[in-house]
Every structure is written in C-alpha cells, then in structure tokens.
Amino acid sequence: MACCNASMLLLDNSAEAFLSRFRFQSRMACLVAFWASDDVLTYSFMQASAIEHIWHSWAAAGPERSKTGVA
C-alpha cells in the first residue's frame, strides 16, 4: 500500500504539478466559456425579441406606413 502524505508540497516542475495547473486552467476555461455562451444566448434572444417587436409594429401599421413613405 502506497503512503500518501497530503502535506507534502508538489515540485514546480513535476508532472503532478503540471497536471494540477492544467486541470485548474481547464476548469476556469470551461467556466469562462459557459459564462460567455450564456451572455451570447441572452443577447441573441433579446435581439430576436426586438426584431419580432419591430416586425409586429410594421405589420400593425400596414398600408398606412407605405403611403407615408411615398409622400
């Protein structure tokens, strides 16, 4: 049975230290990507809602809007 001492520090250039830093950076990158994708989705839904609102307002104006644009 291997003895494991949790208080033993990892060497800076050891494989364990590299993997530990790599895992931490991977987790942070995933969190940032998740946060960014959430913001992008929120922004795109707001844009789609605004465009839909414009379409409905133009449809409600109907022929009156096209007549005022010609005059």
Q: Write the pLDDT tens digit of every residue in 5-56.
A: 555 555 567 878 878 888 888 999 999 999 999 888 899 889 988 888 888 8
- What is the DSSP code (8-state) at residue 7? T
| DSSP tag of 3 | -
Q: Where are the alpha helices (DSSP H) in the chain?
A: 15-61, 63-70
The answer to whether the CB of 14 falls within 8 A of the CB of 4 is: no
d(CA 54, CA 60): 10
pTM of the prediction?
Answer: 0.45
